[in-house]
Amino acid sequence: MKFIYYFFRFLFEAVVFPFLCFMVLAARHVNKSIDVGLGPFPLINNLYHKRALQLAGYSAETFVSQVWHITNSFDVRFDLYWLSKNFFCRKFFLNIYIFCWSILRYRSLIIYFDGGPLGQGTAFLWRLEPYLYRWARVKVVVLPYGSDVQIMSRSPNLQFKHAMAMDYPQHGKRHRHIRTMVDIWSSAGSHIIGGCEWVDYMHHWDTLMIAHFSIPLPNLIEISASEPFRNGPLKLLHAPNHREIKGTRHILRAVEELRAEGLDIELTMLERVPNEEVRRMILEADVIVDQLVIGWYAMFAIEAMASGKPVICHLRRDLEELYVATGLLQGFDEIPIIRADAFSFKEVVRNLYVNRDILEVAAGKGRGYIERHHSVEAISLVFSEIFAKLIGPPKGTAENRPRKVN
């Protein structure tokens, strides 16, 4: 039965393929109205990347085929289109429509290694998608974000490999597909960006970043209104959206043991809440606990540092060495994160409980670090160089051009 299903799906795509070729040829001669499209996955970072692009003078638009709980503030939502409702093979037809729509609308795209619309559940069109974009004269910048590139056979981190197997056992069944997607897009994409621990899985990048995550800096008034560090309970905030990957059980055990010793420690867990609620809870915490396994930081830590809060996170030494050696970091002490892994977390928290001055120092450095490396302005500088090479200079005025962050 499964064979019959895949046979007809393959046959159906073969019938649609000539139509796609016709649309690609048409797109070569269309004057596309928008410089950069960002989609189709509903990643909140696309909203911030759009701001970075606009700051560089480029017109940009976000589009999604669905939305998640984090946010729904995207420019074009195809989940609201009639084509996504109660229709035979609606997902397939919707993805075909989004692809054709995108090549007629955008001069370039920012997508992830999951691919674009054709990368979602097609039998063979996902293999051809990079080349179809190329033939349509649409430049594609490919970013990683996590599970789209995590080929665990390439990971040197055995703890992380185990955590992935526990949290996402189905991920192993996608190993060959993920590996093929990474290899195809790395070869056929117009520009590839690497960073974080994603470099473990990638064989090539055109631009290396500490991480491409960007964020608009919170208002200083909001930060100053948050409670200062004190001698009372030590309030920890943790978001265990991937419990093994984040090292949540190590955190829970350490906090329980420290409480048994008489230390007044409060641990708040955040799961599946909107981004606005996450930011509010960050301002109420003393310390943000990011993750103890992966070996690098991501959006939760970035939002915390931008809000003037100290962060506990595991940072792999070899990754730090890479970013220091390439000049992206000015030294091993530039990242103002309090280092801890599954084995040292308990003693690190015990030390913070007694020495609150450490929290003050880390919090004081956090916002400046984010401003230099992860603010919309900082990412705008990187994007402006990339897209100037791909599609030419922006059409905006000089006042809209990004300024270097010192």
- Residue 406: predicted pLDDT: 45
Nearest to 110, CA basis, from 82, 78, 142: 142
Q: What is the pLDDT of residue 405?
A: 45
Helix (H) or strand (E) run with residue 106 in it: strand 106-112
Shared domain for 63 and 189, answered yes or no, is yes
**pLDDT per residue as tens, the chain (406 positions):** 666 767 777 888 999 999 999 999 999 999 999 999 999 999 989 999 999 999 999 999 999 988 876 778 899 999 887 655 555 467 888 899 999 999 999 999 999 999 999 998 788 999 999 999 999 999 999 999 999 999 999 999 999 999 999 999 999 889 999 999 999 999 999 999 999 999 999 999 999 999 999 999 887 655 655 556 667 899 999 998 889 999 999 999 999 999 999 999 999 999 878 878 888 999 999 999 999 999 999 999 999 999 999 999 999 999 999 999 999 999 999 999 999 999 999 999 999 999 999 999 999 999 999 999 999 999 999 999 999 999 998 764 444 444 444 4
Q: What is the DSSP letter of 219?
A: P
Within a domain: 397: no
Domain contains 400:
no
Residue 304, both tokens: 């915390």
**pLDDT tens digits for range 236-289:** 999 988 899 999 999 999 999 999 999 999 999 998 788 788 889 999 999 999
pLDDT value, residue 399: 40
Q: What is the pLDDT of residue 68?
A: 76
Is position 404 within any domain? no
Looking at the fold, whether 174 and 276 belong to one and the same domain comes out as no
Token duo for residue 288:
């943000």
Helix, strand, or coil (residue 226): coil
**How wide is the angle at C-alpha 50 spanned by C-alphas 142 and 335, nearest 5°?**
75
Same domain, 248 and 154: no
Tell me if 74 is assigned to some domain. Answer: yes
Residue 403 lies in a domain: no
**282 and 146 within one domain:** no
Q: What's the confidence (pLDDT) of residue 232?
A: 86
Cβ pair 182, 114 in contact under 8 A:
no
Instruction: Tell whether 198 and 259 lie within a shared domain.
Output: no
pLDDT confidence of residue 355: 94
8 lies in the same domain as 114: yes
For position 73, what pLDDT does the model report? Answer: 86
Predicted pLDDT of residue 109: 98
Q: How many domains does the chain have?
A: 2
* 101 occurs within a structural domain: yes
Sheet with 191-194, side-by-side order of all strands: 76-77, 60-64, 34-38, 106-112, 139-143, 191-194, 207-208
**Residue 138 domain-assigned (yes or no):** yes
Return the structure tokens found at 165: 């197997």
> By C-alpha distance, which of 347, 359, 356, 358 is closest to 261?
347
Among all chains, which residue has been given the structure tokens 């638009």?
A: 61
For residue 323, give its domain range.
Answer: 220-374
Peptide bond into 40 cis (omega under 30): yes
Residues 253, 175 share a domain = no
At position 115, the amino acid (one-letter code) is G
Q: Is the same domain home to 128 and 171? A: yes
* Span 106-128, pLDDT tens digits: 999 999 999 999 998 788 999 99
Look at residue 25 and give its three-state secondary structure: helix
What CATH number is given to the structural domain containing 338? 3.40.50.2000
Angle between helical axes of 357-373 and 376-391 (0-180°, round to 10): 20
Q: Quote the CA–CA distance of 103 and 258 in Å, as a whole number.
A: 57
Residue 34 shares a structural domain with residue 177: yes
Closest CA to 186 of 214, 148, 135, 136: 148
Q: Does 270 reside within a domain?
A: yes
- How many other CB atoms sit within 10 Å of the CB of residue 371? 17
- Same domain (yes/no): 161, 263: no
Please check whether residue 175 is in contact with residue 152, taking contact to mean a CB–CB distance below 8 angstroms: yes
Measured CA distances, 154 to 165, 168, 191 (Å): 14, 17, 22
Whether residues 19 and 164 share a domain: the answer is: yes
The tokens describing 256, both together, are 């329980």
**In sequence order, which ranges of 268-395 are alpha helices (DSSP H)?**
275-284, 299-306, 317-325, 345-354, 357-373, 376-391
**Are both 362 and 387 inside the same structural domain?**
no
